[in-house]
Structure formats: structure tokens, C-alpha cells
Structure 1
Amino acid sequence: MNDDTNDWRAVFWDIGGVLLDVDSARESHRRFVEALDDAYELSIPVDAALETWRTEVGRHFHEREGTAFRSSRTAYGHAVDALVGDSVPADEWTPLFERVQRETLRPNPGAVETVERLGDSDRHVGVVSDIDTAEAYLIFDVFGLTDAFDSVTTSESVGRTKPDRAMFEAALAAADVPPETALMVGDRYEHDMEGAADAGLSTVAYGADNGPAVDYRVDDLREVLDVVGVER
């Protein structure tokens, strides 16, 4: 563990489960399925439709080869097709989906103020996430963080997913910092902790399992400021 809190030059954030409250994402999916039912009168009850949605989305990602990127938006399209039929074009359901996201998604406690506070320091503030790029920026817009990040590294932009080293190497290149001066804040041990540690970064676990790849652990995201050495 690096105890010199003055050496950190970059802090990278995961989105889902860290910046984004995953329960709000699940709720957005339920509300979207309800909206589909209102618009198209689904042939099955909403609870069954939601289960179909989850199954189709899950199947899309389970078919991934290794760490190859697979688009969430494509997964959502498959799920809409399964519920409504392939007669609904993406430019018809996508605005509805995004409207529900804007109404439903919320940040984890302390996420927004911590990112903003770090932005007031001289540290590079970045994102390393497996999310689609457009969805990442929608979330930033909802949270009022559109201009808060110095770099945004998504799996869509790199073509790989965590824990692939390419994700972290791309983020480090964007920040132009050596790995030993960077922190990764994540909620998944294998993807965020081990992936970052393998690339030479130090790690901050927020809900991630314990293990040798964890350097710091926080229960409140505002504690990241204490790790970095920035006043709250």
C-alpha cells in the first residue's frame, strides 16, 4: 500500500456500481418494460416481460468471447425484439429508453461531490468502464458531470472489457501518468481490482471483494478524498 497521499496524479472511476447506483439502473429497466407495455400492449405480464428482458440482455453478454466488447445498446435491441417483435426500429424505442433513464438513474451517495472535489485539485480525473460511450455520457449529463472528467475510457472505445490490460493502458495514456501514481476506484474484484493491479495501478475497493489486489477500501465514496489527500 502506498501511504504517500501526495503522489497520486490520477483517479479513475468505474461507472456501474460506483458512480451509478445499480439499483436505479435495475429500476430503469423495469420502468422501460412498463413503458413498452403501455405503448405496445405486451402479450405477457410485466414481471414475465422483465424476466425476458433480463434473459435476453444476459444472453448477449454471456456470448462474449474473452474480453471482447459487446454493446449494451445492441443487447437492449435484442430484448425489445423479444418482447415486441422486430418491427419496432431502434430510433423509436431508443428515445423512450433514454427518457426513462434520465428520470430514474441516480448516483451513489457522495459520488458527484467527490468527483467535483477532485476536479478542483490538480489530479487527472478519469473513467474506466465497460459501458457504451453514449450511455456513459448520458449518465454524466443526468448527474451534472458532463465536463467533470479529463478522460473517459470505455470498452466501446478500446474494443475490450476489464480486466484486459488494454483498458487501463488506454486510460493511463490518456492521463499521461505512470501507473504507480494512479488509483482505480471499482466495485468488482476481478475486473477492477485485479485488472488495475495487473497494469500497475493502486486500487480502491467500493463494495469489491477482499483480496491481495485491494490497496484501499472505502464504504463512503467521500473517503476517496482522504486516500488521495484532498480536503473534503
Structure 2
Amino acid sequence: MDAIFFDIGGVLLDSASVRRAHERFIADLRDEYDLDAGNPLETWRAEVGAHFREREGTGFRSARAGYERAIDALGVEGEWESAFDRALSETIEPNPGAIEVVETLAEYDLHFGVISDVDAAEGRRILATFDILEEFDSITTSEEVGRTKPDPAMFETALEKSETTPERSLMVGDRYRHDMAGAKDAGMVTAAYGAEEGPAIDHRLTDLREVLDLV
């Protein structure tokens, strides 16, 4: 391989820890703002979910805009971003082996990048929280491209940055349609970490450290 790209959520980042971070954030809001009776966590999830369901095709929709929508639905007035960012930074966790793999691959003679459906600032903040931001040669986000995976523009943009050919570039992802099928359509080699089965998968990983054997 001349290049390897990782998704963030579900691959480098433990998705369950994000849910726990949101639960902590809502609990903090309930205490600080004395939210009305009901289930503010369910309101939060419903509003954020509705925000993303309104996306047309592979168009980008900002997660931060979805959070603002949910905050409005909760009736919270005032600054909330610092509490949200603190809950995430103190709660999110990497998947097993993720940090070890990143630090090892950063020493390899290849292009090391990210292709992720995240807001640019949020993606970088997650990587910085794990102290691995500076290890990557490129970071390609949906906010930057204006599209989400499996749109070809996501993979083409990342490949342009790496100046490598698709057939010598590996995509590691956790979603079949978005990561595996999208990368395969772009001509890339694929490695699935938790994605459902399908013909677009070239390699399957049960542990992220197994990716070292592929490169």
C-alpha cells in the first residue's frame, strides 16, 4: 500500500462512548437549567436524528447545526457549547488498538489519512483528544467536500491529497455502503472493521491491529 485511510466514528472512535458523552451532557444540562419534566435525552436524540434524516442524497449536514436544533427544542437559552465539548473530551474513547495502530503507521513510508463524515472541527477535536491529530498527513471531511460517503467526491478528494493510485490505497471503515462500497467504487482496497458482509470487502478485521499485516 502507498496510502491508508481511516474512518473516525466506529473505527478510531468507539461509537458507544459518544452515546455516553451525549447522555452525560444532557444530564449536566438538566442539572444546570432545571429542564422541564419529561425525557430530555429522548428529545435530544429525536431532534438530532430528524436533522440528519432531512439530508438530501449525499449532501452534507452539519452535526453542530443538529445539536443547536436539539438545544432549541429543549428550551435551553445561553451558552452550552463548552459543556458539550467538555462532556465529549472527558468521555469519548478510542476503539481497542486504535492508538497503537495510528502511532505505528505514522512511522511507515506511506500516506496516512482520514476520510470521515464529520464536521471538520469536530473530527480534528476527536483526534486531538486522543493525541493523534498530528500523526495524519491528510484529513478529508464531509464538511470540506460538501458531500458524505459513499459519494465519489469524498474518496477522490482524499486520493488527490495523497497523490496515490486507488488500487494501492486502503480504506478502513465500519459501514458497508458508505465505507466499503464507496471506496471499492473508487477503485480502492477495502478493510472492514465491523461492517456487514458484502462483495466490496477485500479484508475483514476483528482487531484494528490486524491492519498492520495488510500494509
**Structure-2-length-normalised TM-score:** 0.98
Is structure 2 residue 75 aligned with structure 1 residue 84? yes
The 5 A counterparts of 1:13-32 are 13-32=6-25
Equivalent of residue 34 in structure 1, options 7, 13, 27: 27
Equivalent of residue 62 in structure 2, options 71, 86, 91: 71
Higher mean C-alpha deviation, range 121-130 or range 76-85: 76-85
Distance in 2 (CA, whole Å) between partners of 1:18 and 1:44 is: 36
Aligned AA (2:115) = V
Equivalent of residue 62 in structure 1, options 36, 47, 53: 53
Unaligned runs of 5+ in 2: none
- The aligned counterpart of 1:53 is 44
Q: Deviations over 1:15-58 (max 9, x none)?
A: 0000000010000000000011111011024xx11111110000
The 5 A counterparts of 1:90-169 are 92-169=79-156
- The aligned counterpart of 1:44 is 37
Distance in 2 (CA, whole Å) between partners of 1:30 and 1:16 is: 17
Higher mean C-alpha deviation, range 142-151 or range 163-172: 142-151
Aligned AA (2:109) = D
Equivalent pairs, count: 215
* Conserved? CA contact 1:40–1:84, under 8 Å: no
1:156 CA displacement: 0.2
Aligned AA (1:197) = K
1:141 CA displacement: 1.1
1:182 CA displacement: 0.3
Aligned partner of residue 84 in structure 2, secondary structure? helix
- The aligned counterpart of 1:187 is 174
Equivalent of residue 184 in structure 2, options 175, 178, 197: 197
Runs of 4+ aligned structure 1 residues displaced above 2 Å come to: none
Distance in 1 (CA, whole Å) between partners of 2:65 and 2:33 is: 20
Aligned partner of residue 147 in structure 1, secondary structure? helix
* Conserved? CA contact 1:163–1:191, under 8 Å: yes
Counting aligned pairs with the same residue, the percent is 58
Distance in 1 (CA, whole Å) between partners of 2:145 and 2:162 is: 15
* Conserved? CA contact 1:153–1:167, under 8 Å: yes
1:73 CA displacement: 0.4
Distance in 1 (CA, whole Å) between partners of 2:112 and 2:168 is: 12
Q: Deviations over 1:50-99 (max 9, x none)?
A: 111110000000000100000000001111111124x33xxx11111001
